[in-house]
A and B are shown apart, each in its own frame.
Chain A
Amino acid sequence: LGHNIHFHDKKIALLEAGPRKDYDRMPDSYSNRVSSISPGSAALLSSFGAWDHVCNLRLKPFRRMQVWDACSEAMIVFEKDDLGDMGYIVENDVIMSALTKQLDAVADRVEVFYGSRAVGYTWPLSSHSCDTSPWVQIELADGRRLQTKLLIGADGHNSVVRKEADIRNIEYWYDQSAVVATLHLSEATDNNVAWQRFLPTGPIALLPLSDTASSLVWSTSHEHASELLAMDEESFVDSINSAFWSNVNHSDFIDAAGAMFRSAISLLKPSGTAARQLPPSVAQVDPGSRAMFPLGMGHATEYVQNRLALIGDAAHRVHPLAGQGVNLGFGDIACLVHHLGAAAFNGSDLGSLKHLLKFETERQRHNVSLIAAIDLLKRLYSTRLTPLVLLRTWGLQATNALPPVKEQIMAFASK
Chain B
Amino acid sequence: QLLLLRLTMKRLFSTSHSSVDAKEMKKFQLLAHKWWDEEGEYSALHSMNDIRVPFIRDTLLSMRSNYHMGNPLSGVKILDVGCGGGLLSEPLGRLGASVTGIDPLEDNIRTADQHKSFDPVLAKRIQYKSSSLEEIVEECMETFDVIVASEVVEHVADLEMFIKCCSQVLKPEGSLFITTINKTQLSYVLGILVAEKLIGIVPEGTHEWEKFVPPEELESLLESNGFSVKTVNGMLYNPLSGSWSWMESTSINYAVHAVKSGAQAQPSPTGALSEVGSEQPSDTAGTAL
Contact = CB atoms under 8 A, between A and B. Distances in A.
A349 B90 contact: yes
B96 A134 contact: no
Contacts of A345: 57, 69, 72, 95
Contact of B57 (A9, A128, A347, A352): A347
Contacts of B69: 5-6, 8, 345
A207 B110 CA distance: 63
B92 A347 contact: yes
B15 to A, nearest CB: 30
B50 interface: yes
Interface stretch (B111-119, B168-176, B255-263, B280-288): B111-119
B70 A6 contact: yes
Interface string A325-355: 0000000000000000000111111001110
A7 B118 CA distance: 20
Given A346-B50, A347-B53, A130 B115 contact: yes
Nearest to A353: B38
**Main SS of the interface on chain A?**
loop
A346 B48 CA distance: 12
A348 B91 contact: yes
Interface in A132-150: 133-135, 149
B127 interface: no
A306 B190 CA distance: 32
B70 A128 contact: no
A8 B94 CA distance: 12
Query: How big is chain B's contact interface, by range?
Result: 20 to 34
Given A130-B115, A134-B118, A346-B53, A8 B38 contact: no
B92 to A, nearest CB: 6
A393 to B, nearest CB: 48
B54 interface: yes
Contacts, number: 57
B84 interface: no
Contacts of B91: 346-348
Contacts of B38: 352-354
A134 B122 CA distance: 14
Interface string B80-109: 000000000011111110000000000000
A9 B71 contact: yes
Interface string A382-406: 0000000000000000000000000
B70 to A, nearest CB: 2
A344 B92 CA distance: 11
B68 interface: yes
B49 interface: yes
Interface of A: 5-10, 128, 130, 133-135, 149, 344-349, 352-354
Interface of B: 33-34, 36-38, 40, 47, 49-50, 53-54, 57, 68-72, 90-96, 111, 114-115, 118-119
16 contacts: A5-B70, A6-B70, A9-B71, A128-B34, A128-B36, A130-B114, A134-B118, A345-B57, A346-B91, A347-B57, A347-B92, A347-B95, A348-B49, A348-B91, A349-B90, A354-B38
